[in-house]
Chains A and B, each alone.
Chain A
Amino acid sequence: MSDLIGVWVGAILTLLVFSYLLGDSPLFRIAQAIFVGVAVGYAVNVALYLILLPRLIYPLIDSPQQNWHLFVPLALGILLFAKLRAAWSPLGNISIAFLFGVGGALAIGGALSGAFVPQLNATILSLSPAQNLNSVISNWLLVIGTIGALLSFRFLAQPQRPLARAFETLARGWGGLGRWFILIAFGAIFADTAVARVSVLIDRVYYLLHDWLQIVR
C-alpha cells in the first residue's frame, strides 16, 4: 500500500513539474515548493541526526574526559552563531578562517597533485609517426589543439620587427584554430548535457508508463 501511495505521489509531482511546459503556473510552483522544502528538511535531519548528535553531542555527554578534543569543534561551531549579530561577527571569523584555511589548503594541494601535474603530463605525447595511425592523429590533434587554445587567449599589438611580425601572424592563425577547438569542446559538453537530460526525461516517462500506468513492460 505504501508503495502504491508513493507511486501516485511521485506521478502527480512529475505531472506538476511537466505542467511548466504550458507555462509558469501554481501547479508547478506547488511542486517546486514541495521539493525545496523536502530537500531542506532532509538536509537538516541529516546534519542533526547523522552528524551533530552522534558525532559531537552524545560523545561529549557520555564521556567528556575521553572526548575532550570535541570541545574544539563545539567551540568553533558556537562561534559561528556570533555571525548573527554584527557586533559579535568578528568572533565568527575564527571559525570561518579555520574552515576556509583548511579547505583551501586541501583544495590547492589536491589540485596540484591530482589535476594540474597529471594533466600536464598527459599532454606530453609522442608525435612520432612510428606509432599506429590513430595514435599519431590523436596525439597531433591534441598537441595542436592544446597549444592553439592557449594561443587564442593571447592578445598583443602587431609588432614592428619582421621576425616578430611573422611570429605574431603565426600565433594569431594558430590561436584562431585553437578557438575552434574550444568551440567544439563546448559543443560536445553541451551535447552530452542534453543527452543526460534526455535520459532523465526517459526515466520519468518510463516511470509514468511502467510504474504508474503500467502499460509497458
Chain B
Amino acid sequence: MIYCAQCGTQNKDENKFCSHCGARLAPPAGLICPMCSTPNPVDTVFCNNCGARVVPLIAGVDRPAAPPPIKGLSLPTKTAAPPTPAPREDSENWLANLRAATPTDNEAESETKWARDENADAEIASDSATTREDDPAWMRDLRRAASDAPADEANQRDDFDQPRETRARSDQETAQAESEADEPSWIKRLRESAQAPEPALDRDDRAIKMERAETRDDIVDQDALPDWLQAETPPEKITPEPELADARAQNIAPLRAEETSAPRAAEPETRAGEMPDWMRMAMPAEKKDEPRLEPIAPEEIPSWVARLKPTDAPPIISGESEAAGPLAGLRSLLPLANAIAQPHAPAKPAPTPNGKTGAQLFQAILAAPASTEITAPEMKRRAPAMQPILYLLIALAVIIPFFLPTNLASSGLRLSGTPAAEFYDAIQTLPANANILLAFDYDASVAGEMDLLARAVTRQLMQRRANIIAVSTLDTGPALAQRILEPAARENNYRYGANYLNAGYLAGNEAGLAQIASIGLPTNARDYLQNQLVRQIQIATNIKSPRDFALVVVLAGTDDALKLWLEQVQARANLRVAAATSAGVEPKARAYRDAKQIVGLVSGLIGAAQYEVLTGQPGQAVVRVNAQSAAQIVLVLAIVIGNFAWLISRVGKKI
C-alpha cells in the first residue's frame, strides 16, 4: 500500500499515480532498481529481478565484493580501439574543446566498470575543492545545507549527494566555461528559456503534462538542435515533482556512472545504453546484428543540458543517518521514502473560490445586526376539542344498553342465509365422534371478541359429541384455549384426553402447519395440561393422517393466521376448513369464502350473537349486541356530522 504524498490517499502498490488526486506516487520503501524499476528490500545490493546494482559505490565505505564476471555477460574489457571520431567541421570550438578535455571512448572502455567507479570517486574526493567552485547553483545549495552535518560525515555525504554524472560533468565545466562565449545563438536561446521561471502550473496540470511528456523532446524542441546533437542526445526522463525527483535521485543517482559507462545505442527509443549486457544479449538476433555505434561517455553531455535540470525546489537533506546496512553512516538518503511509508492524514482541501465566497457571506451574516425579530406565528384558533365529547358519547353508548330491560337488537338478528348459518350447518352435519382440529389462533388483544365465538363454537361441537383436539400457532393460544375448553367440558361431561385435548403450542409457523398437513399431528408435540406426548394420549391415537380430521375450525384473530392455515393445511391436505374470525378479518376472509376455500365464516360480536341464537343458547354475545349497535350508531353519526360540518365550512370559505 502506497500513501500519496499529496493527499494521503491509500493506493495499491502497482499504482504509479494517485487514484484520488492524480499525483505521481513515490515508490514503496526500499531500493528501486534503476534498470527494471523493481522494488527491492533495503539490504539488497543487486536487484532481485535483473541483477543490476542498486547500492551506491562510495569511497571509504565498506561495500560488498563485486559480482564475479560472467563469461559472455560481463561488460567488455579491452577491445579493439574504435576509430576516434574525427572532429566535425561544422562543430563549434567549444564542443571541440569539450571533446579534448574528456577521455576518449577507448580509455573509458579500457577500464572495467568497477574500476572506473573507483577512479571517479577518488578523483572527486581529491578535486572537490576545485569542482565546488564550478558546481551548479542547486548543487551548491545542497552542499551548503549539508555543511551543518558533522565533519566526519561530510565527505561521505558530499560523495553521495553529488551524482557521479554531475561530478564528472563538473570537471568539464572548467574547460567549457571558456567556450560558452562561442555558443551559437540557438543554444543561448535555449539557456535563456531554461533559466526563465517556469509558468506556474497547478499540480494537476503538471501531473498531466508529465504523464504525457515522456521524454525531454516533448518540451525542448528537437528541431532546434543540430542533427548530430539530436542523434547523440538521448531522451531524458522528466522528473515529475522536485521532491519525488530528489527521492528518486537518491536511488538512481549512484548508478548513473554505471549506466552511462555502458555502451549506448544510437537510437534513443531502444535505450540500449541503459540495458545490461545480459538484456542486450537476450534481444532478438536482428538487433544483435545491427552495427553498434560507439557509446557516448557521460562527460560528453554539455553542461548547458545539465543546467536544464529543474533546480527550483530546495533539496531535502534533513534526516537521520543510516545506522546499519550498506548505507550506514549516510544521511538523508531516503527521507521522502521514510515519510511516505508512514500513514498520512488526509490533507485539508484548499478552499475553493465558492467556499471562500460562502464563508465571507456567512461571516457577513453573523456580523450583521438582526434587523427584524423573529416572531412566532399566530396560533390558528381551533374549534373546540371534539375528542372528549366523542369519548363521552361512545362511553354512554356502550354503558347504557347494559341497563336496558330488554334487548332491542337481538330480535333483529338475521340468521338464514348468513355465513354464520353456513358455519352452523357445517358443524351440524358432522358425524358423531368426528375428529375436529380446533385452532385457537388469537391472542389476548382480541380475546374479548373471539372468546364469545370460541365459546359458542366449542359448545356446539361438544353437543355434537365431536372429539376436539385444540392447537395454537401462538404461544398464548393454549392458555386461552384452556379457558374456553374447561368450562365447556364441565357442562358437556367431556373428559380430558378421551374427548378433548389441548395439544398446546404448535411451533414453527409454516413448518409446523406443514407437519399437520403431512402427518396429522406432530410426533414430538406435548399437551398443555399434562406435558405428555400427544401421540400417546388416547384421543390422538386414532389420528394417523390429516384425513382423519373431519373439519378444521380456525379461530383467527388476524388475517395472517387464517391465511397460514389455508395455505399450508387446506391447500396441501385438502381439508374442510371453517373460520371464526375477528370483525377486522372479515373483509379478507370473505374472499376465501367466495372462493369456497372455507365452508363457513362467522365473525365479530354480531356473528357470535347470531351463532348463540342458532345454537339456542343466547349468552353474553347477545347481551352485548345492544351496546355494539349503539356504539356503531354513534360512530356513524359522528362520521356523517363531521363530514357535513367540513362540507359546510368549505362552502362558506368559497362564498
Report which A residues bind B (CB closer than 8 A): 21, 39, 42-43, 46-47, 50-51, 54-55, 59, 102-103, 106-107, 110-111, 113-115, 118-119, 121-122, 185, 188-189, 192-207, 209-210, 216
Residues of A within 8 A of B507 (CB): 51
**Once bound together, how far apart are the Cα atoms of A15 and B399, in whole Å?**
15
Q: Is B594 an interface position by the 8 A CB rule? A: yes
Is A121 within 8 A of B631, CB to CB? Answer: no
Residue of B nearest to A205 (CB): B398
Contact A199 B628 (CB under 8 A): yes
User: In the complex, which of the residues A59, A122, A198, A209 contacts B594, with contact meaning CB atoms closer than 8 Å?
Assistant: A122
Q: Which residues of chain B from 566 to 617 have a CB within 8 Å of any chain A CB?
A: 566-568, 570-572, 582-588, 591-592, 594-597, 604-605
Segment from B29-37, B63-71, B308-316, B508-516 that makes contact with A: B508-516
Which A residue sits closest to B626, measured CB to CB?
A202
Given contacts A42-B476, A121-B595, A199-B449, contact A107 B570 (CB under 8 A): no
Is the CB of B402 closer than 8 A to any CB of chain A? yes
Q: Which residues on A sit within 8 Å (CB–CB) of B451?
A: 203
Q: Is the CB of A185 within 8 A of B587?
A: yes
> What residues of chain B lie closer than 8 Å to A114, measured between beta carbons?
563, 566-568, 570-572, 597
Cα distance A110–B572 when bound, in Å? 8
Give which listed residue, A43, A119, A202, contacts B475 with CB less than 8 A: A43
Inter-chain CA distance A113–B504, complex, in Å, is: 27
Q: State in angstroms the CA–CA spacing of A187 and B306 once bound together.
A: 90
CB-defined contacts of A185 to chain B, threshold 8 Å? 587
Any A CB within 8 A of the CB of B448 = yes
CB distance from A196 to the nearest CB of B (A): 4
**A114, A185, A198, A216, most chain B CB atoms within 10 A:** A198
Pairwise interchain contact B398-A202, C-beta atoms closer than 8 A: yes
A110 pairs with B475, CB closer than 8 A: no
Report the separation of the CA atoms of residues A198 and B584 in the bound assembly, to the nearest whole angstrom: 11
Considering only residues 383-409 of chain B, those with a C-beta below 8 Å from chain A are 391, 394-395, 398-399, 402-403
Residue pair B475, A200 in contact (C-beta under 8 Å): no
Whether A122 contacts B567 in the complex (CB less than 8 A), given A21-B391, A204-B448, comes out as: no
Whether the Cβ atoms of B445 and A200 lie closer than 8 Å is yes
Residues of A within 8 A of B587 (CB): 185, 188-189, 192
In whole angstroms, what is the CA distance A190 to B475 when docked? 27
Nearest-neighbor residue (CB-CB) of B625 within chain A: A202
Residues in B with CB closer than 8 Å to A196 are: 446, 449, 582-584, 604
Across the interface, do A202 and B631 meet the contact criterion of CB distance under 8 Å?
Answer: yes
Contact assessment for B624 and A206 in the assembled complex, using a CB-CB cutoff below 8 Å: yes
Q: 10 closest Cβ contacts across the A-B interface? A: A203-B448, A114-B567, A110-B567, A114-B571, A122-B595, A106-B510, A196-B583, A193-B584, A196-B584, A199-B449
> Are A110 and B510 in touch, CB under 8 angstroms?
yes
Q: Are B399 and A113 in contact (CB under 8 A)?
A: no
A199 and B605 contact, CB distance less than 8 A? yes
Judged by a CB distance under 8 angstroms, whether B157 is at the interface is no
A103 touches B509 (CB 8 A): yes
Cross-chain pairs A/B with CB under 8 angstroms, 12 sampled: A46-B505, A103-B511, A110-B571, A111-B567, A118-B592, A192-B604, A195-B605, A195-B628, A197-B584, A199-B628, A204-B448, A206-B402
B568 touches A106 (CB 8 A): yes
Q: Decide: B582 and A201 in contact? CB cutoff 8 A.
A: no
Chain B residues near A192 (CB, 8 Å)? 583-587, 604
B526 at interface by CB-CB < 8 Å? yes
- B628 touching A202 by the CB < 8 A rule? yes
Q: Does the CB pair A205–B399 fall under 8 Å?
A: yes
Chain A residues lying within 8 Å of B586, measured Cβ to Cβ, are 192
Pair A195/B510 contact, Cβ less than 8 Å: no
Q: Across the interface, which residues of B come within 8 angstroms of A122, CB to CB?
A: 591, 594-596
User: Using an 8 Å CB-CB cutoff, how does the interface string of B617-655 with A read, 1 for contact, 0 for none?
Assistant: 000100110011001100100000000000000000000
Q: How far is the CA of A113 from the CA of B594 in the complex (A)?
A: 16
Chain B residues lying within 8 Å of A107, measured Cβ to Cβ, are 510, 567
**B571 CB, nearest partner CB in chain A, Å:** 3
If A54-B531, A198-B631, A204-B448 touch, whether A110 touches B568 (CB-CB below 8 Å) is yes
Contact present for A202 and B448 (CB under 8 Å): yes
Closest Cβ of chain B to A143, distance in Å, is 13
Residues of chain A lying within 8 A (CB to CB) of residue B585: 192
Question: Which residues of the partner chain A approach B592 to less than 8 Å between Cβ atoms?
Answer: 118
Find chain A residues with CB under 8 A from B398 CB: 198, 201-202, 205
CA A119 to CA B635, docked complex, whole Å: 33
Is B371 engaged at the interface, CB distance under 8 Å to the other chain?
no
Q: Evaluate whether A216 and B402 lie within 8 angstroms (CB atoms) in the complex, with A106-B510, A199-B628 already known.
A: yes
In the complex formed, the residue of B with least CB distance to A201 is B398
Given contacts A42-B475, A51-B505, contact A195 B632 (CB under 8 A): yes
CA distance in complex: A107, B563 (Å): 10
Which of A103, A193, A200 has most chain B Cβ within 10 Å? A200
Nearest chain A CB to B589's CB is how many angstroms away? 10
Question: Contact at B391–A209, with CB atoms within 8 Å?
Answer: no
B363 interface hit (Cβ, 8 Å): no
Cβ of B594: which chain A residues have Cβ within 8 Å of it? Answer: 122
B524 within 8 A of A: yes
**Which residue among A111, A114, A189, A207 has the maximum number of chain B CB atoms within 10 Å of its CB?**
A114
